[in-house]
Amino acid sequence: MDSANRVNECFPSFNPLNSEFYSGLRVIDNFSDRISFNLFNKEKDDKLCAQSLNEMVLESSSSLSVAIIASDTSIKNNVAMSIAHIHTHDKPLIKTIHHTVNVTSTEAELFAIRYGINQATCIDNISKIIVVTHSIHVVKRIFDPSVHSFQVQSAAVLSDLCYFFNCHTNNSIKFWKCLSHLKWHLHNEVNNEVNKETKIFKPLLLYPCKNL
């Protein structure tokens, strides 16, 4: 398990000239057929959603080329906790924990997704990445070409995906929506861990008087 303490670390400034946001060069322009979403229709009941997620894991468990990312975050006393678990072949492969302060819940969620994708793209022979999250609205920010305050994280994700897609024509990513109240086992495992870590974590501020 990789654990990193990011307390009192400032996020870098956004570069408006970043090539990831140029029209015609954007990931969504060039690799739209490699990016998909499973959002579930509102008409579907929770039982059917959970069943679909279980079937997805069962199908993926037979392949060593599929990485499943489940992530979650929690904010308490202005300290954000981001955790991402990566599973391959139905086994946990990587677990990461990051802490930071003075960020919004959207930033924390986006960072957890960003870091999970970054780690998954570094695993040998992975051709399909599946991201399971209850924050689909956060995922959509990644591919939003308009100017917004989360483009630092978006640019990092898009850069990793561009590299991943260029490695092989079969490489793809899919985002699955999983509502928290479903308590689906992979996402619930991360949720329980983030709640546990939030309770026991005691930040050691590098600059106690620093006002970010």
Q: Is residue 134 assigned to a domain?
A: yes
Q: Is residue 150 assigned to a domain?
A: yes
Judge contact between 45 and 64, C-beta under 8 A.
no
Q: Is residue 91 assigned to a domain?
A: yes
Q: What is the residue range of 162's domain?
A: 2-9+25-200
Please name the amino acid found at residue 156: A
Q: Is residue 115 assigned to a domain?
A: yes
Q: Is residue 111 assigned to a domain?
A: yes
CA distance 95 to 120: 11
Return all residues near 90 (Cβ < 8 A) that are at least 6 apart.
57, 60, 61
| CB-count exposure of residue 126 (10 Å: 0-12, 13-18, 19+) | buried
Structure tokens, 43? 């008409």
The whole-model pTM stands at 0.80
Longest dimension (CA), the chain: 52
Query: How many domains is the chain partitioned into structurally?
Result: 1
Q: Is residue 97 assigned to a domain?
A: yes
pLDDT tens digits for range 80-127? 888 889 999 878 888 888 877 778 888 888 888 999 999 999 999 999
pLDDT tens digits for range 2-53? 444 443 344 444 455 455 555 555 788 889 999 999 877 665 677 788 888 9
Q: Is residue 19 assigned to a domain?
A: no
Q: Is residue 109 assigned to a domain?
A: yes
* CATH, residue 67: 3.30.420.10
Q: Is 97 helix (H, G, I), strand (E, B) or coil?
A: strand
